[in-house]
């Protein structure tokens, strides 16, 4: 074999090796939001994080790309309430696959990496959850407590149905991100009944507010009357106390004056002269009967009460111009 033939053979061998290497090399780009499941001879070898996977001479190895982004499923279904009412309900479930390597390996062996396969199984669980949850609520309760209804659906999907059984979410290796009741549609007849009920509730609420307003006004008026009565009572007590105090003090003064006149006749005569001078200043002359109680007369005149004084001496009074 000449040199040229040998060179051609070597080139052919190298080309064959390169072709074989190219055919058996495994290359994959793992994007964010995905994971690569490395499968060799049908068994899961490992999990490839986002990045570049390259392995030469790996004829029995392949990379399965699995979506771990957040996904949504919307389901609409006709269900029956606990009070035997039929209605259509629409819900949305947000979920994502678990990203732990062990969970991804188990998921691959159980349901594969297909989103369609996962969604098909999840829809079945959601349908059962809707049927179960709807029988635990009356239609009115479902309409007024959508949050509670959503929570009951979540509870069904995340709770084990019995000993040794996995919850639906565990069976599918997913995390539930959100459960929302989007809409509830009822029949025309029931919708009419609901409208009438709403009108009655508005009327009841209006009447209740009116009753509370009347009670508040009555309480206000009662409070005002009580305050006015208290003020009047306090005023009257003050007047009575003042009158009693004045009478007590006047009595004390008279007692002291009487005692002074009895103990000091000169003081009594001095007071008589002062009184005569005051009567003369008025242009009148007063003649007093000798039997008149002069002490009482002086006290009454000193208190500027001419009506009482006149009553005492009216039979002996003579006015001279």
Give the tens place of pLDDT for each residue, 228-272.
888 888 888 878 887 777 777 767 666 766 666 666 666 666 766
HEC string of 208-247 equals HHHHHHHHHHHHHHHHHHHHHHHHHHHHHHHHHHHHHHHH
Torsion sign across C-alpha atoms 125, 128, 130, 133: negative
pLDDT of residue 76: 94
Is the pLDDT assigned to residue 303 strictly greater than 90? no
Residue with tokens 């349908």: 127
Backbone angles phi, psi at 31, to 5 degrees: -85, 165
Q: Which pLDDT does position 316 carry in this prediction? A: 43
What's the mean per-residue pLDDT of the chain?
Answer: 80
Sorted by where each begins, the domain ranges of the chain are: 23-67, 71-186, 187-263, 267-321
119 pLDDT band, cuts 50/70/90, is very high
Per DSSP (E only), the strands in the chain are 26-30, 34-40, 43-48, 51-55, 61-67, 71-80, 86-97, 174-185
Please give the CATH architecture assigned to the domain spanning 71-186: 2-Layer Sandwich (3.30)
Q: Determine what percent of the chain is predicted with pLDDT higher than 70.
A: 70
pTM, entire model: 0.56
**Cβ atoms 94, 178 nearer than 8 A:** yes
pLDDT tens track for 165-183: 999 999 999 999 999 999 9
Q: Using an 8 Å Cβ cutoff, are 75 and 123 in contact?
A: yes
């Amino acid at each position: 074999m000449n040199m040229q033939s040998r060179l051609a053979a070597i080139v052919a061998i190298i080309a064959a090796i390169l072709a074989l290497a190219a055919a058996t090399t495994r290359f994959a780009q793992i994007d964010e939001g995905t994971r690569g499941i490395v499968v060799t001879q049908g068994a899961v070898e490992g999990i490839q994080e986002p990045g570049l996977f390259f392995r030469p001479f790996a004829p029995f190895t392949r990379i399965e790309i699995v979506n771990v982004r957040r996904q949504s499923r919307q389901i609409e279904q006709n269900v029956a309430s606990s009070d035997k009412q039929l209605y259509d309900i629409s819900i949305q479930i947000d979920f994502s696959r678990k990203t732990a390597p062990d969970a991804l390996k188990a998921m691959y062996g159980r349901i594969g990496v297909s989103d369609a396969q996962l969604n098909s199984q999840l829809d079945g669980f959601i349908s059962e959850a809707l049927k179960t949850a709807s029988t635990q609520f009356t239609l009115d309760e479902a309409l007024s407590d959508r949050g509670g209804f959503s929570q009951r659906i979540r509870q069904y999907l995340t709770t084990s149905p019995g000993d040794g059984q996995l919850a639906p979410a565990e069976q599918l290796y997913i995390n539930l991100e959100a459960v929302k009741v989007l809409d509830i549609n009822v029949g025309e007849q029931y919708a009419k009944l609901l409208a009438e009920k709403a009108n009655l509730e508005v009327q009841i609420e209006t009447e209740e507010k009116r009753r509370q307003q009347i009670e508040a006004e009555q309480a206000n008026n009662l409070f005002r009357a009580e305050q006015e009565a208290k003020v009047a009572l306090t005023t009257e007590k003050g007047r009575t106390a003042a009158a009693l105090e004045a009478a007590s003090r006047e009595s004390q003064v008279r007692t002291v004056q009487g005692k002074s006149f009895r103990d000091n006749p000169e003081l009594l005569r001095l007071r008589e002269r002062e009184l005569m001078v005051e009567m003369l200043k008025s242009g009148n002359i007063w003649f007093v009967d000798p039997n008149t109680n002069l002490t009482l007369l002086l006290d009454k005149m000193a208190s500027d009460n001419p009506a009482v004084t006149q009553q005492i001496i009216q039979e002996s009074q003579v006015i001279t111009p």
